[in-house]
Amino acid sequence: MIYGANLIIMALTGSNFPEFIMMLLTPALDIAGNLWGFIAIVTFGNFLWLFGINGSSIIFPILFSIGIANTGINSELVANGQAPDVAMNLQMFRISVLGGAGGTLGLIILMMRSKLPHLKTLSKISIVPGICGINEPIIFGLPIVFNPILAIPFLITPIINLVLTYYAQLTGIISMGYIIDPSFTPFFAQAYLATMDIRNVLFYCALII
């Protein structure tokens, strides 16, 4: 099927399948290269979640590609004895899904203190996946899907986190990411492995609270 699609694309555009995909992604990659474009794409992905659509899987190829490339640039700078200076690194993508899409880990912690049995039970089920950036139990179990009240913090929290992280990097409050850390590991491990700086771990924890 891929071979057939490749032939059709070559006939219509003169480009092969990989070149065609990159041509489609290039505008999105350009947009995601700056803070506000990055935020717009993250917000779009989170908006899709509100309708039960896995928005993270749609925006992942764009944001992760930018993050990997820019982290590689920072890594080269560090290897040459220079300070990393590209703020739109993989750390920004990690922050956009801190505790899962919508930044719901703080909500899970609040639910653990709830007097309502079903909320407390749901929080116990969700806390470990949430620490690793997986929060479908909350999105569909609370639910956040089709919930206009919870939709507001679900959309706003990642925006605040991204703005704070961006300027915290620029001002030297935390270190810029220069190491590609593993996905779906505890957020505090990602924060440290990306920068080898304990300040980033503390900053991540502060964002959750």
- Domain limits at 179? 34-208
- pLDDT tens digit sequence for 109-161: 999 999 999 999 999 999 999 999 999 999 999 999 999 999 999 999 999 99
Residues 87 and 186 placed together within one structural domain of the fold: yes
pLDDT score at 75: 95
Residues 14 and 75 placed together within one structural domain of the fold: no
Higher-pLDDT residue of 30 and 62 is 62
pLDDT score at 21: 58
Residues 77 and 167 placed together within one structural domain of the fold: yes
For the chain, what is the domain count? 2
Residues 22 and 41 placed together within one structural domain of the fold: no
Secondary-structure percent of the chain, ordered helix, strand, coil, rounded to 5: 70, 0, 30
**Contact yes or no for 17/9 (Cβ under 8 A):** yes
pLDDT score at 59: 86
* Backbone φ and ψ of 133, nearest 5°: 85, 20
Question: How many alpha carbons lie under 13 Å from residue 126 in its C-beta half-sphere?
Answer: 27
Percent with pLDDT over 90 in the chain: 70
Residues 106 and 129 placed together within one structural domain of the fold: yes
Residues 15 and 61 placed together within one structural domain of the fold: no
Residues 125 and 182 placed together within one structural domain of the fold: yes
Residues 179 and 76 placed together within one structural domain of the fold: yes
- Rounded to an integer, the average pLDDT of 9-21 is 65
- Rounded to an integer, the average pLDDT of 16-40 is 72
Residues 128 and 166 placed together within one structural domain of the fold: yes
B/e letters for 30-44, b = 16+ CB within 10 Å, e = fewer, are eebeebebbbebbbe
Residues 114 and 47 placed together within one structural domain of the fold: yes
Sequence-ordered list of residues with C-beta below 8 angstroms from that of 139, at least 6 positions apart, any chain: 49, 100, 101, 102, 104, 145
**Among residues 169, 157, 26, which one has the least CA distance to residue 89?**
169
Residues 124 and 53 placed together within one structural domain of the fold: yes
Instruction: Report whether pLDDT(25) > 90.
Output: no
Residues 158 and 88 placed together within one structural domain of the fold: yes
Task: Report the distance separating Cα 131 and Cα 208, nearest Å.
Answer: 10
